[in-house]
Amino acid sequence: MSTPPLLPRADLERLHDDVMAWFETAARDLPWRRDVSPWAVMVSEFMLQQTPVARVLPVYEAWMQRWPTPADLAAEPAGEAVRAWGRLGYPRRALRLHAAATAVVERHGGEVPSGRDDLLALPGVGDYTAGAIASFAFGDRAVVMDTNIRRVFARVVSGVEYPAAAVTAAERELATALMPGEDAHVWAAATMELGALVCTARSPQCSACPVADLCRWRASGYPAHDGPVRRGQSWEGTDRQCRGRLLAVLREAEGPVAKARLDAVWPDAVQRERALDGLVADGLVEPLDSGLFALPGDR
């Protein structure tokens, strides 16, 4: 996506004012917005990757009650993080969050760092997560580029239905140019919320949008996406589903289990063995003596 011409200054100021004014009244009351400590923001960002807010909320609240600081999490085996992750999906995120907490304790005295380089050096922290922590926890002028923000910018400013599959240099330049002089962290949260609640992927509610009259995609007559077909991820019968079934047995057992108990939850032996091998390779499952299997450190 090439960089489109920026909105005229007057329209840009309206965009800032109207989106942030809408956010003041429309923002959801989410626990990581009430508690914007760096650790709370880090936990929420790990959990929210590819996972809806409604599924994250109960797991996040239980997690923060049990492990209110990085040191609390780092003091327990990684398997406990996997167990507490429950059915959020992509459980490697739990391992990475545990590893990040351990690194925070070892390198930063238990305090999540504010510097971008220090954040990026933590396990599981990439460009987006580093920007989100810097913005939401520390109030820095950091570019935050999640799926919702990218979609809002693509439609309102670039005039296309969807952004590119991966973040481009042009998008980063645009996001930097769109950032207001003050309250950049509020702007990031507000545009993210606008994409989540109003400018949604499948059913945008343009009548409820505070900046519909500035939207170039709307003004162009809602041209359809010109690119690869966007497909949802399948689940039934996949290796991911099989892995989830196997992990569920280990989470609920709270200790090592015999191979026969894992065999009982998935009928396809070839797929089951492939999924189990993958879990072991990813560090999510440990093979023990006598044919037993356990979560990491769960002996």
Tell me the C-alpha to C-alpha distance, in Å, between residue 71 and each of 23, 101, 106, 122, 163. 34, 7, 9, 15, 38
Task: Give mean pLDDT, residues 202-218.
Answer: 96
* Average of per-residue pLDDT across 244-267: 93
The angle subtended at Cα 204 by Cα 8 and Cα 34, nearest 5°, is 85
Band (7; pLDDT cuts 50, 70, 90): confident
Element (H, E) at 286: strand 286-287
Q: What is residue 298's predicted lDDT score, i.e. its pLDDT?
A: 83
Question: What is the C-alpha separation between 48 and 166, in angstroms, rounded?
Answer: 18
Per-residue confidence (pLDDT) for residue 1, from 0 to 100: 45
| pLDDT on residue 291 | 86
- The better pLDDT of the pair 202, 4 is held by 202
Burial grade of 245 (CB within 10 A; 0-12, 13-18, 19 or more) = middle
pTM (2 d.p.): 0.89
* Cα distances (Å, whole numbers) of residue 282 to 66, 159, 201, 296, 298: 25, 41, 32, 11, 16
Active site residues: 45
How far apart, in whole angstroms, are the C-alpha atoms of residue 163 and residue 172? 12
- The predicted-structure confidence for 36-61, as pLDDT tens digits, reads as follows 899 999 999 999 998 999 999 999 99
Helix (H) / strand (E) containing 294: strand 292-294
In the block, which residue shows the tokens 């609240």?
Answer: 61
What is the C-alpha separation between 146 and 129, in angstroms, rounded? Answer: 9
pLDDT for 256 beyond 90: yes
Highest mean pLDDT among 134-138, 222-226, 253-257: 134-138
Q: List alpha helices for 27-158, DSSP H.
A: 31-34, 38-48, 53-66, 70-74, 78-85, 92-108, 116-120, 127-132, 147-153
pLDDT confidence band for 2 (50 / 70 / 90): very low
Distance (Å, rounded) from C-alpha 12 to C-alpha 214? 9
Q: What pLDDT score was predicted for residue 233?
A: 61
Q: 3-state DSSP helix/strand/coil percent for the chain, to nearest 5? A: 60, 0, 40
Owner of token pair 């995609």: 217
Task: Tell me which of 17-31, 115-129, 284-298 is least confident.
Answer: 284-298
